[in-house]
Amino acid sequence: MSLALPYTRAVLRNPNLLFWGIAFMAFWFVLGAYVFSVGLPSNRPSEESYTAAWFAIIALFSLTIIAMSIASSMTYGTDALAFSFRFTRLTPTSYVLSLMASSAAVGFLFSFVMAALVSGLFSAHFGTAIWPSNLVGLVGVSLLSGAFMMGLGTVLVIVVVNYLTLRSLSFIEFVPLVLSYIFGFAQLYVALPPLVLYLSPWNDMESLLYQAYRGSPATVTLATSSSTALYWPYSVLGLVAWVVLLVLIASVLLGRIRSVSVQEGRQI
Amino acid sequence: MPDPALSIHDLTVRYPGSATDAVSGVSLDLEGDRVVVVGPNGCGKTTLLKAALGLTPVTKGSVRVLGHDVRTVRGELGVGTNLADVYRLMTIPVDGLISLWSDLKGGTETEVRRWFEEFGLREALGRPLHRLSTGQTKLVGDLLALAYTPRLLLLDEPFDNVDFGRRHRYIELLARSSATVVMNTHELELLHAFPDWGLYFMFEGRLIGRFRAADLERLYVSRGRRPGAIATFSTAVGEFSVTLDAGEVPMKGSSNLSYLLERVA
């Protein structure tokens, strides 16, 4: 785990990540609070649900951006990884766990910054305090979500390095973000079967982030509070299972990492 | 009897899309000795080292380092190299890189930090590798390669872009190491600093030798097959013989092998 601290430090000092992971998301929160809220029923439950849903979806996007940025930087160090796994104490599993720990720590910090932004902006707009209800839950789900995103990012990047051309990475990098959009907005408006919501890690994260903020369970359709409530232990179980699966897959793939030149990634 | 530090058998490496082998049918067994591989740019020296480190796919043959198949070896701490890319695990200043690498190698930082001071690299400590000069980057790799008492040391052109004074210091450090060493260079005059080392030449992916570096003064290269030749080899420009004490062109005084072969041809 010797890499977790330097990685975390590097991410927190990266102005690009801070901009896209926090500042850009703050822009969406402003839109959510002051533009898209027009027509929202003026009652406490609606405002709470609306705020929690915005927090959950935007936190999901932010975590995706952080994880893919860290994961894609692996392509600059394929020689270093191939050498280190053979001739140092670094193992593929400890490397993945270091990345996950780093991403979890950053995810935790970013989630709290975003929770603060959401609380401030949405409370100011609605004229009533809408604070996160379950801080312990928020810590847990932020850490778990950061770990999941990092695991997914690692697997995607190593698949590209080992089995595809590096040139395809700039397209593959968008896959987690696209899936975050699809599943994130689907749960907002579409009544997906509960089984899909439990098996989909994006919906597990979204449901848990929503519940941690609001304090009551997420529903099958977040925009419809009367829809079926989700059972949060299943969401936790689903997410933990995904994290474990990704650690295993990433460890196997990293053990076979191919040495590539970053120049292979040039489009032209 | 311990496994050889490096055991290469019939190694062939051909890069995808290439019509020729980068390394062709190379065999080498080393334990406790030091050899220098001399060859012109592009002859396959670096590919040979990369294959020995598992950093390039092997088309044919086998490579074992410290008794392990290089494809599957894990956590073997006794191997060092100066290839700078293996130290680019993340973008951190060299100072942090030393700490990180000491942790990963399970060694102490004291000695390597003292070397950095001795080599006048204090100023480099605050910068990441990509912000160093070519010579500084080379020296960082050279010193990290020698740190943590490796049993097998694979050095690729360790003196490229390194000034005379620091070359001399590094030669002294190398002499104190007990590692089995394979060192690539394209500079024939460097061999004078390593008279007790074994010597191989490399042309177009093939390894020729073994000679003694001390015999450089006595080695000649001639065109064609010569009676009494101690080695013959073929290149794209023809067949050549290496002879002792007599021949067409003496190796001593030749600044590099490409130039030497041009003179003979």
What are the domain boundaries of chain B? 6-78+149-264, 85-148
pLDDT at site B86: 94
Section A244-255 average pLDDT = 94
Q: Per the CB < 8 Å rule, is A84 touching B54?
A: no
Averaged pLDDT of chain A:
89
Closest CA–CA distance from residue B57 to any residue of chain A (Å): 8
pLDDT at site B254: 63
Q: Per the CB < 8 Å rule, is B103 touching A81?
A: no
Whether residue A1 is predicted with pLDDT greater than 60 in this model: the reply is: no
| Secondary structure class of B162 (helix, strand, coil) | coil
Q: Per the CB < 8 Å rule, is A80 touching B85?
A: yes
Of chain B, the end-to-end C-alpha distance in Å amounts to 45
Closest CA–CA distance from residue B87 to any residue of chain A (Å): 6
Q: Per the CB < 8 Å rule, is A89 touching B73?
A: no
Q: Per the CB < 8 Å rule, is A10 touching B54?
A: no
Among the listed residues A29, A113, A30, A32, the one whose alpha carbon sits nearest the alpha carbon of residue A66: A113
Section A169-198 average pLDDT = 89
Distance separating alpha carbons of residues B49 and B58, to the nearest angstrom: 12
Which positions in chain A touch B94 (Cβ < 8 Å)?
none
Whether residue B208 is predicted with pLDDT greater than 90 in this model: the reply is: no
**What does residue B61 show for φ and ψ, rounded to 5 degrees?**
95, -170
Interface of B with A (CB under 8 A): 50, 53-57, 70, 73-81, 83, 85-92, 96, 100-101, 103-106
pLDDT at site B253: 64
pLDDT tens readout for residues B38-47: 888 888 999 9
Q: Per the CB < 8 Å rule, is A91 touching B74?
A: yes
Whether residue B236 is predicted with pLDDT greater than 90 in this model: the reply is: no
Q: Please, what sign has the CA dihedral across residues A43, A45, A51, A53?
A: negative
A3, A83, A91: residue with CB nearest B86: A83
A7, A83, A91: residue with CB nearest B55: A83
Which positions in chain B touch A80 (Cβ < 8 Å)?
85-89
DSSP string of B24-85, one letter each residue: EEEEEEESS-EEEEE--TTSSHHHHHHHHTT-S--SEEEEEETTEETTT--S-TTEEE--GG
* Cα B247-B250-B255 angle, rounded to 5 deg: 150
Section A23-45 average pLDDT = 89
Distance separating alpha carbons of residues B140 and B259, to the nearest angstrom: 30
Distance separating alpha carbons of residues A188 and A50, to the nearest angstrom: 10
B62 vs A173, higher pLDDT: B62
pLDDT at site B3: 79
Strand B238-244 relative to strand B231-235: parallel, antiparallel, unpaired? antiparallel
DSSP string of B184-251, one letter each residue: EES-GGGGGG-TTSEEEEEETTEEEEEEEGGGGGGEEEEES--TT-SEEEEETTEEEEEEES-SSEES
Section B161-175 average pLDDT = 92
CB neighbour list of residue B174: distance below 8 Å, 6 or more residues apart: B146, B181
Q: Is A261 on the interface with B (CB under 8 A)?
A: no
pLDDT tens readout for residues A225-235: 778 889 999 99
A3, A77, A87: residue with CB nearest B88: A77
Q: Per the CB < 8 Å rule, is B76 touching A86?
A: yes
Q: Per the CB < 8 Å rule, is B90 touching A89?
A: no
pLDDT confidence tier of residue B121, bands split at 50, 70 and 90: very high
If you measure CA to CA, which chain B residue comes closest to A85? B74
Whether residue B238 is predicted with pLDDT greater than 90 in this model: the reply is: no
CA quadruple A26, A28, A29, A32: dihedral, nearest 10 = 170
Which positions in chain B touch A77 (Cβ < 8 Å)?
88-90
Contact B94, B127 (CB under 8 A): yes
Q: Is A95 on the interface with B (CB under 8 A)?
A: no
Which positions in chain B touch A166 (Cβ < 8 Å)?
none
What is the CATH topology of the domain spanning B6-78+149-264?
A: Rossmann fold (3.40.50)
Whether residue A16 is predicted with pLDDT greater than 90 in this model: the reply is: no
- Crossing angle of helices A135-163 and A44-72, in 10° steps, is 30
Section A72-101 average pLDDT = 91
Section A135-141 average pLDDT = 91
- Crossing angle of helices A92-126 and A78-87, in 10° steps, is 130
pLDDT at site A249: 95
Which positions in chain A touch B101 (Cβ < 8 Å)?
88
Which positions in chain B touch A83 (Cβ < 8 Å)?
53-55, 81, 83, 86
pLDDT tens readout for residues B60-71: 999 999 999 999
pLDDT at site B107: 87
Percent of all residues in chain A with a pLDDT value above 70, rounded to a whole number? 99
Between chain A and chain B, the number of residue pairs with CB atoms below 8 A apart is 79
Q: Per the CB < 8 Å rule, is B54 touching A86?
A: yes
pLDDT confidence tier of residue B190, bands split at 50, 70 and 90: confident
Name which of A11, A73, A88 to mutate to probe chain B: the one with the most chain B Cβ atoms within 10 A of its Cβ: A88
Section A218-222 average pLDDT = 89
pLDDT confidence tier of residue B228, bands split at 50, 70 and 90: confident
If you measure CA to CA, which chain A residue comes closest to B79? A87
Whether residue B160 is predicted with pLDDT greater than 70 in this model: the reply is: yes
Q: Is A3 on the interface with B (CB under 8 A)?
A: yes
A10, A84, A255: residue with CB nearest B104: A84
Whether residue A111 is predicted with pLDDT greater than 80 in this model: the reply is: yes
The answer to ipTM > 0.95 is no
Section B234-245 average pLDDT = 82
Section A218-228 average pLDDT = 84
Distance separating alpha carbons of residues B84 and B50, to the nearest angstrom: 12
B55, B77, B105: residue with CB nearest A82: B55
Whether residue A52 is predicted with pLDDT greater than 90 in this model: the reply is: yes
Among the listed residues A263, A20, A11, A258, the one whose alpha carbon sits nearest the alpha carbon of residue A158: A258
pLDDT confidence tier of residue B247, bands split at 50, 70 and 90: confident
Q: Is A90 on the interface with B (CB under 8 A)?
A: yes
Averaged pLDDT of chain B:
89
Whether residue B255 is predicted with pLDDT greater than 60 in this model: the reply is: no
pLDDT at site B226: 86
Whether residue A39 is predicted with pLDDT greater than 90 in this model: the reply is: no
pLDDT confidence tier of residue B257, bands split at 50, 70 and 90: low
pLDDT confidence tier of residue B227, bands split at 50, 70 and 90: confident
